[in-house]
């Protein structure tokens, strides 16, 4: 599963941008024809024609490629400008200003809460000035028009804001559920894949550790599964606190993978040793009990071009070696590392 699939905002905005461009492209074409050939309103007609072309271009772009972050913003600004110009140029009774009420929804859905808020605020301010400078608001009584416009715009604005804020919150919660191990609050395998494939751009001096608790089954057997769970939570916390760079992930029951970028043999080995010695000398308090544990660690240097699976496998082989040779130790294949250094030089 790709982590991008979890970004519901991106998926929503991609679809919205595409279909709004299509709908507005058709609408703007109809208005262009109407204003150029029936209404003789050339200035607005030409603007609408240009806007229709832009809409169809963006529709086609969004159909075939990932949209650029500025595209939704530009679309919103264009629509806003058209509605403001239309309100300014046309008489009030044409009803063009009514489009104002659709825009906060569009801004919030396409741009999110912050930009949506500022554009909605800007729009209402400009439209108020434009309407106030109109020679006549006929056929509407002035006070009625202002009151109805203000309250209906405010209602739509508030609803759009609440909807988008809740959607963003919900989406973030879902993403956390999918990426974090609920017991230890450490990233899971999906988060590890994303970290390796997307976040870790420079992997040249990357070191990978696979860490496994020794005889953890005994803890479960002796103290029960709940105590075992609490021990895992404590271990994960210690790992996160000890790692001053890189990231830790829970990859299995009592197994963690740690990534240390921009490192070298001495430093990564020292980090692994610090973790091992630190855990060995830390008695984990669970209720009134104190539990002592040791860990075995397999350490491997990342080989250029290796997939995540291959990189983890190399560290796993070292872990196996560490377990085979008495546990509570760190194993690192220095020969493989020397070969890698020779290759690089």
- List residues near ligand GTP by CB under 6 A: 183, 212-217, 220, 225, 228-229, 232, 253-254, 323, 327
Q: Minimal distance in Å, beta carbon 309 to ligand GTP?
A: 21
First-residue to last-residue Cα distance in the chain: 37
Cα–Cα distances in angstroms (integers) from residue 145 to residues 97, 139, 311, in the given order: 11, 10, 68
Of 32 and 230, nearer to ligand GTP (C-beta) is: 230
- For the question of residue 241 being annotated catalytic, the response is no
Q: Count the neighbouring beta carbons within 10 Å of the beta carbon of residue 294.
A: 15
Rounded Cα distance between 209 and 300, Å, is 7
Q: Minimal distance in Å, beta carbon 214 to ligand GTP?
A: 4
Q: Which of 338, 207, 312 is nearest to 264 (CA)?
A: 207
Of 32 and 251, nearer to ligand GTP (C-beta) is: 251
Of 264 and 294, nearer to ligand GTP (C-beta) is: 294
Q: Minimal distance in Å, beta carbon 243 to ligand GTP?
A: 21
Q: Minimal distance in Å, beta carbon 223 to ligand GTP?
A: 9
Q: CA quadruple 108, 109, 113, 116: dihedral positive or negative?
A: negative
Q: Minimal distance in Å, beta carbon 290 to ligand GTP?
A: 17
User: Three-state DSSP class for 274?
Assistant: helix
Q: CA quadruple 333, 205, 268, 182: dihedral positive or negative?
A: negative
Report whether the peptide linkage leading into residue 139 is cis, meaning its omega lies within 30 degrees of zero.
yes
Q: Which of 205, 211, 184 is nearest to 296 (CA)?
A: 211
Of 261 and 298, nearer to ligand GTP (C-beta) is: 298
Q: Minimal distance in Å, beta carbon 236 to ligand GTP?
A: 11
Of 161 and 323, nearer to ligand GTP (C-beta) is: 323
Q: Minimal distance in Å, beta carbon 190 to ligand GTP?
A: 17
Comparing every residue's Cβ against ligand GTP, the nearest one is 253
Of 32 and 328, nearer to ligand GTP (C-beta) is: 328
Q: Residue by residue, what is the 3-state secondary structure of 57-106?
A: HHHHHHHHCCCCCHHHHHHHHHHHHHHHHHHHHCCHHHCHHHHHHHHHHH
What ranges in 180-223 are assigned the alpha helix state H? 189-194, 216-223
Q: Count the neighbouring beta carbons within 10 Å of the beta carbon of residue 18.
A: 17
Rounded Cα distance between 251 and 230, Å, is 17
Of 228 and 246, nearer to ligand GTP (C-beta) is: 228
Catalytic residue among 48, 164, 234, 254: 254
Conformation bin of residue 112: beta by default, left when phi > 0, alpha when psi is -120 to 50: left
Rounded Cα distance between 299 and 317, Å, is 9
Catalytic residues: 254
């Amino acid at each position: 599963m790709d982590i991008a699939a979890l970004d519901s905002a991106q998926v929503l905005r991609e679809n919205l941008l595409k279909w709004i461009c299509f709908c507005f492209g058709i609408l703007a074409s109809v208005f262009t024809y109407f204003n150029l050939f029936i209404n003789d309103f050339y200035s607005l007609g030409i603007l609408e024609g240009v806007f229709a072309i832009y809409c169809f271009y963006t529709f086609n772009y969004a159909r075939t490629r990932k949209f650029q972050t500025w595209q939704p913003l530009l679309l919103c600004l264009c629509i806003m400008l058209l509605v403001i110009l239309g309100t300014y140029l046309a008489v009030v009774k044409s009803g063009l200003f009514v489009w104002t009420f659709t825009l906060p929804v569009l801004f919030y859905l396409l741009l999110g809460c912050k930009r949506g808020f500022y554009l909605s605020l800007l729009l209402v301010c400009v439209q108020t000035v434009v309407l106030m400078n109109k020679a006549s608001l006929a056929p509407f009584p002035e006070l009625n028009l202002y009151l109805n416009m203000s309250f209906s715009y405010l209602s739509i604005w508030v609803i759009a804001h609440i909807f988008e804020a809740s959607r963003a919150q919900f989406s973030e919660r879902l993403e956390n559920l999918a990426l974090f191990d609920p017991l230890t609050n450490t990233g899971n395998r999906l988060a590890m894949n994303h970290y390796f494939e997307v976040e870790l751009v420079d992997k040249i001096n990357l070191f990978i550790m696979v860490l496994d608790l020794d005889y953890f089954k005994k803890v479960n057997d002796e103290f029960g599964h709940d105590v075992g769970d609490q021990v895992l939570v404590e271990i994960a916390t210690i790992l996160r606190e000890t790692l001053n760079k890189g990231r830790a992930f829970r990859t299995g029951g009592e197994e963690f993978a740690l990534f240390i970028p921009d490192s070298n043999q001495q430093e990564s080995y020292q980090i692994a040793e610090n973790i091992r010695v630190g855990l060995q000398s830390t008695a984990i308090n669970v209720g009134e009990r104190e539990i002592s544990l040791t860990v075995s660690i397999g350490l491997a240097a990342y080989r250029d071009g290796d997939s995540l699976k291959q990189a983890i496998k190399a560290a796993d082989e070292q872990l196996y070696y560490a377990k085979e040779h008495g546990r509570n130790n760190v194993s690192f294949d220095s020969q493989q590392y020397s070969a890698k250094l020779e290759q690089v030089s």
